[in-house]
């Protein structure tokens, strides 16, 4: 049984991530999408929200499971009995960091291999950060994320706008 762990922040999951997941689901018996806490990045969605959105987006893929973890990645991978860490590569700009991460993980446990997959060319420019920026500025993110993710993004930015400008909700008369 070949199990691959696909770790990331998934803040939120995009069609780029999903493209990698679909390709991996055809190659491995089981793919675990592992949502990382990532305290450094100040995510827009909580760990639970990110995992729930990833689960909604991958519901139709029978051998894909969504989980979350707060520990060291390599410990999590061992605990899940996986031998492969999956990462996506978009452009040369991803390489430097991914290279560092892969070799560090290998130094910790050289029984675990990191494998890279490239998404469909139309998704090579896509990142969670850009999707959030488009949505924050009122743009349509439906070409980039599945419908439940679009709804969650729009709701979150509407909440943040209301919190920033509470007066906008009050009637001018009353």
Determine if the peptide bond prior to 12 is cis (ω within 30°): yes
Catalytic residue check, 132: no
Q: Count the neighbouring beta carbons within 10 Å of the beta carbon of residue 61.
A: 16
Q: Which residues of 110-123 are buried (b: 16+ CB within 10 A; e: fewer)?
A: eebebeebebeeeb
Catalytic residue check, 17: yes
In the sheet with 64-69, reading across from the earlier edge strand, the strands are: 64-69, 30-36, 3-8, 84-88, 113-117
Catalytic residue check, 26: no
Q: Which of 5, 9, 69, 152 binds ligand ADP (CB under 6 A)?
A: 9
* 76 binds ligand ADP per the rule CB under 6 A: no
Q: Which of 44, 126, 152, 153 binds ligand ADP (CB under 6 A)?
A: 126
* 87 binds ligand ADP per the rule CB under 6 A: yes
> Which residue is listed with tokens 């679009």?
150
Say which of 90, 106, 136, 156 is annotated catalytic.
90
CB of 36 to ligand ADP, least distance (A): 6
Chain residues binding ligand ADP by CB under 6 A are 8-10, 14, 16-17, 20, 38, 87-88, 90, 94, 119, 123, 126-128
* Residues identified as active-site: 17, 41, 90, 128
């Amino acid at each position: 049984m070949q199990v691959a762990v696909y770790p990331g922040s998934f803040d939120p999951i995009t069609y780029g991530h999903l493209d990698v997941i679909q390709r991996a689901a055809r190659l491995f018996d089981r793919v675990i999408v592992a949502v990382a806490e990532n305290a450094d990045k100040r995510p827009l969605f909580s760990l639970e929200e990110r995992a729930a959105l990833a689960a909604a987006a991958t519901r139709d893929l029978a051998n894909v499971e969504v989980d979350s973890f707060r520990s060291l990645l390599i410990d999590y991978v061992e605990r899940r009995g996986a031998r492969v860490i999956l990462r996506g590569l978009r452009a040369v700009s991803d390489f430097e960091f991914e290279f560092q991460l892969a070799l560090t993980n290998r130094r910790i446990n050289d029984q675990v291999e990191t494998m890279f997959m490239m998404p469909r060319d139309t998704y090579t420019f896509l990142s969670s950060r850009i999707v959030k920026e488009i949505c924050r500025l009122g743009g349509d993110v439906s070409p980039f994320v599945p419908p439940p993710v679009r709804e969650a993004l729009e709701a979150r930015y509407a909440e943040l706008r209301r919190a920033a400008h509470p007066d906008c909700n009050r009637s001018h008369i009353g």
